[in-house]
A and B are shown apart, each in its own frame.
Chain A
Amino acid sequence: MATEHAIRVEALTKSYGDLEVLRGVDLAVARGSITALLGANGAGKTTLVRILATLLRADAGVATVGGADVAGEPARVREAISLTGQFAAVDEVLTGRENLVLVARLRHVEARGLGKPAAVASALLERFGLTDAADRRVGTYSGGMRRRLDIAMSLIGDPPVVFLDEPTTGLDPQARNEVWDAVRTLAAGGTTVLLTTQYLEEAEQLAHQIAILHEGRIIVDGTLAEVKALMPPATVEYVEKQPSLEEIFLAVTGAGAGAPAPQGGEQR
Chain B
Amino acid sequence: MTAIADTATLTGRSLRHILRSPDTIITTVMMPVAFLLLFVYVLGGAIDVGTDSYVTYLLPGILVITIASSVSYTAFRLFTDLQGGIFERFQSLPITRSGPLWAHVLTSLVATAVSLVLVIGVALLMGFRPQASVLDWLAVAGILSLLTLALTWLAVIPGLTASTPDGASAFAYPLILLPFVSSAFVPTASMPGPVRWFAENQPVTAIVDALRDLLAGNAPGSAIWVALAWCVGILVVGYVVATALHRRRSA
Minimum CB–CB distance for A64 against chain B, Å = 16
Q: Is the CB of A89 within 8 A of B85?
A: yes
- 0/1 per residue, B1-33, Cβ < 8 Å to A? 010001001100100110011000000000000
A85-B250 in contact given A78-B93, A106-B6 (Cβ < 8 Å):
no
Q: Which of B2, B10, B94 contacts A78 (CB 8 A)?
A: B94
Q: Does residue B92 face the partner (Cβ distance < 8 Å to A)?
A: yes
B77 to chain A, nearest CB (A): 10
For B86, what are the chain A residues with a Cβ–Cβ distance below 8 Å?
Answer: 89-91
CB-CB under 8 A from A91, the residues of chain B are 13, 84, 86
Residues of chain A within 8 A (CB-CB) of B84 are: 87, 89-92
A54 to B247, CA, bound (A): 12
Question: B89–A83 contact, CB under 8 A?
Answer: yes
Q: Give every chain A residue within 8 A of B95 (Cβ-Cβ).
A: 106
- Please, how many angstroms separate the alpha-carbon atoms of A94 and B88 in the complex? 17
Chain A contact patch, size range: 20 to 34
A-side contacts of B91, CB under 8 Å:
54-55
In the complex, whether B35 has a CB less than 8 A from a CB of chain A is: no
Check B137 for interface membership: any CB of A closer than 8 A.
no
Q: Is the CB of A55 within 8 A of B88?
A: yes
Chain A residues contacting B251 (CB-CB under 8 Å) are 56-57
The listed residue (B9, B21, B85) touching A105 by CB distance below 8 A is: B9
A107 within 8 A of partner (CB): yes
A132 nearest CB across to chain B (Å): 21
**Chain B proximity mask over A217-247: 1 for CB below 8 Å, otherwise 0:** 0000000000000000000000000000000
**Contact residue among B9, B17, B88, B93 (Cβ-Cβ distance under 8 Å from A93):** B17
> Residues of A contacting B39 with CB < 8 Å?
none
Q: Which of A81, A90, A94, A108 contacts B16 (CB 8 A)?
A: A94
| Residue pair B90, A106 in contact (C-beta under 8 Å) | yes
Q: Chain A residues near B2 (CB, 8 Å)? A: 108
Binary B-proximity of A82-118 (CB < 8 A = 1, otherwise 0): 1101011111111000100011011110000000000
From residue 74 to 129 of chain B, which have CB atoms closer than 8 A to chain A? Answer: 84-86, 88-95
B93: which of A56, A57, A85, A103 is its contact (CB, 8 Å)?
A103
B contacts with A: majority SS = helix
In the complex, the answer to whether B94 meets A85 with C-beta atoms within 8 Å is no
Give the CA-CA distance A210 to B20 in the complex, in Å. Answer: 45
Distance to closest chain A CB from B84 (angstroms): 7
Do A55 and B92 form a contact, CB below 8 Å, given A87-B85, A88-B85, A90-B86?
yes
Considering the complex, which residues of chain A in the window 53-95 have a beta carbon less than 8 Å from any beta carbon of chain B? 53-57, 75, 78-79, 81-83, 85, 87-94
Bound-complex Cα distance A55 to B125 (A):
51
Smallest CB-CB separation from A82: which chain B residue? B92
Closest chain A residue to B89 by CB distance? A89
Contact pattern, A 23-54, Cβ under 8 Å of B = 1, otherwise 0: 00000000000000000000000000000011
A89-B85, A93-B20, A106-B6 known; A81+B13 contact, CB < 8 A: no
Contact A106 B85 (CB under 8 A): no
In angstroms, Cα B88 to Cα A88, docked, is: 11
| Chain B residues near A105 (CB-CB < 8 A) | 6, 9
Which of A53, A82, A91: most chain B CB closer than 10 A? A91
A85 touches B85 (CB 8 A): yes
Residues of B within 8 A of A195 (CB): none
Closest to B81 in A: A91
Report which of A87, A92, A102, A107 forms a contact with B94, defined as CB distance below 8 A.
Answer: A107
Q: List 5 A-B contacts (CB under 8 A).
A: A54-B92, A55-B88, A56-B250, A75-B94, A106-B6
Q: Which A residues form the contact surface with B (CB < 8 A)?
A: 53-57, 75, 78-79, 81-83, 85, 87-94, 98, 102-103, 105-108, 137, 153
10 closest A-B pairs by CB = A89-B85, A89-B89, A78-B94, A83-B92, A79-B94, A105-B9, A53-B92, A89-B86, A93-B17, A85-B85
Q: A83-B88, A89-B85, A93-B20 provided; 16 other pairs, C-beta below 8 A?
A: A54-B91, A55-B92, A55-B250, A57-B250, A57-B251, A79-B94, A85-B88, A87-B84, A89-B86, A89-B88, A91-B13, A91-B84, A94-B16, A106-B6, A106-B10, A106-B95
